[in-house]
Amino acid sequence: MKMDFLEPYLLEDFKQVISDNEDFLILEYGNNNGKNKLNCVYSARDWIQVVVNSIPSIDLKHKNQDVLSLNMVQFIGAIDLLVESVQQIHRVLNNDKNYPLLKDNTTFRKSISDDDYFSHIRAAFGTHPVNLVSKNGIKSKKRYFASWSSSSGNGIFSVHLYSNDPNEKDEELTIDCKELISYCQKRYEHLTGLINIITKQATQFKSEQSKILITKKETPLEQLYILRAENKKRFGDDGYKCEIEELIELYGAPKKFNFPNVIINNYLDQIRPCIDEIFENLQSMCIVDLMIYPSPRYNYKPNLSKHSYYIQKIYEHIIRSDYWHQRDMIPSFIEVLKENDILPDFVTIDLDKRDLRLILNAILYNEGAKIANV
């Protein structure tokens, strides 16, 4: 009997659609009516992966009867885990429990749904075999007790059901693993439908947002405040959040220093197109790499790269909170950069971090560091 019956590519496609649309999913389901429903999707996705990768290792031909019986419990439990995971994802994405196979009974061909009958199989073959309320999947007032499961070969397993009614005869419950596999495959293949749901929802959201025009402002700082709010609405804590925050610090720096304006203004003029690009990309709901980034890349310039350790530590001081464990070392790092004419003499650790970032960025750009993404 072939145990690798769950095609891994389908799971990979599902994981990819989550990754491709994670900004939307976080925004839509990360806090949905006060509940983080996306965590349910993440959990279900991960457990589906466990099942897909592990079911082929379950040995349903083991020679030891006790081991075989427990392996059957594991096999049924794995299927149950996958089915519940698919159902949970469907519930989150559709805000209901009525997934398409809810009333399907084409696999086991019983008077009750396949899901209900599988629950009976699961109970009898190991979930709670010593406390059953049914012998056929339909709830009864009687109690039933199952034997261990045994195999007659070719994937056929059975248990004997004993009743607490002295007048009721024992009954054999048989299941063909081919039916269990078919039941599992049908629910696993519903991932295709879930992929389509995520794609459709994300596409619709992007279409709706792109039709909402972003307000245009004249000054860079005013525009950046608008973009920060729009980025939050459209992409939550992702999108261009970091770039916008950096630009706000640069254009909002108090400039309480005596330094050649030409170097500062030239740098700010050069990164101005970054604001326009973010504007256009947010308007079209398209998050791609920017052509210009506000942080200069300096490692390829020999005169700057040899001081990259100290430059990086200064940036970490700017970005991180004051409790950073290396804060006491910052004055010495600043002195090294001053001694090598990278920072001006007036710079100290007490300088406003926004001004320090602006000065360092402007000087690095003036010394040949790149801001263009080429």
Assign 3-state DSSP to the chain and report helix, strand, coil percentages, each to 5. Answer: 55, 10, 35
Q: Which two three-digit tokens encode residue 365?
A: 């750009």
Is 304 part of any domain?
Answer: yes
Average pLDDT of the residues of the chain: 93
The per-residue pLDDT for 246 is: 96
Instruction: Please tell me whether residues 91 and 220 are part of one structural domain.
Output: no
Question: Does residue 15 lie within any of the structural domains?
Answer: yes
**Of 140, 163, 198, which residue sits at a domain end?**
198
Range of the domain at 83: 8-198
My answer on whether 171 and 258 are in the same domain is no
Report the alpha-carbon distance of residue 314 to residue 137 in Å, rounded. 68
Residue indicated by tokens 């769950």: 6
| Domain-terminating residue out of 198, 224, 240 | 198
**Residue 277 resides in a domain:** yes
Q: Provide CB contacts within 8 A for 269, sequence distance 6+.
A: none
Domain termination residue (choose one: 198, 226, 255):
198
Please name the residues in contact with 335: beta carbons below 8 A apart, sequence gap of 6 or more. none
Rounded mean pLDDT, 74-80: 97
- 3-state per-residue secondary structure call for 283-349: HCCCCCCCCEEEEEECCCCHHHHCCHHHHHHHHHHHHCCCCCCCHHHHHHHHHHHHHCCCCCCCCCC
Global pTM value: 0.84
Q: What is the pLDDT of residue 357?
A: 96
Q: In the prediction, which pLDDT does 66 show?
A: 94
> Does residue 260 sit within a domain?
yes
In tens, the pLDDT along 245-272 reads 999 999 999 999 988 899 999 999 999 9
Q: How confident is the model at residue 6 (pLDDT cuts 50, 70, 90)?
A: very high
- Is 2 part of any domain? no
Percent of the chain topping pLDDT 70: 98
Residues 39 and 84 in one domain: yes
**Same domain for 76 and 24:** yes
Q: Does residue 318 share a domain with residue 191?
A: no
Cβ burial of 290 (10 Å; 0-12, 13-18, 19+) is: middle
β-strands 150-153, 156-163 pairing: antiparallel
Which residues on neighbouring strands pair with residue 151, listed in sequence order?
157
- Whether residue 1 is contained in a domain is answered as no
pLDDT in tens, 313-350: 999 888 876 655 667 888 999 999 999 999 999 999 99
Q: pLDDT band at 275, cuts 50/70/90?
A: very high
Q: Say how many domains are in the chain.
A: 2
Residues 233 and 136 in one domain: no
Q: Which pLDDT does position 15 carry in this prediction? A: 98
Question: 49 and 157 share a domain?
Answer: yes
Residues 161 and 36 occupy one common structural domain:
yes
Fill in the amino acid letter for 132: L
Q: Are residues 62 and 134 in the same domain?
A: yes
Q: pLDDT (tens digit, 9 = 90+) per residue, 8-31?
A: 999 999 999 999 999 999 999 999
So what's the pLDDT on residue 191? 97
pLDDT at 303: 85
Instruction: Clarify whether residues 175 and 257 are in a common domain.
Output: no
Same domain, 220 and 188: no
Instruction: Answer yes or no: do 169 and 228 share one domain.
Output: no
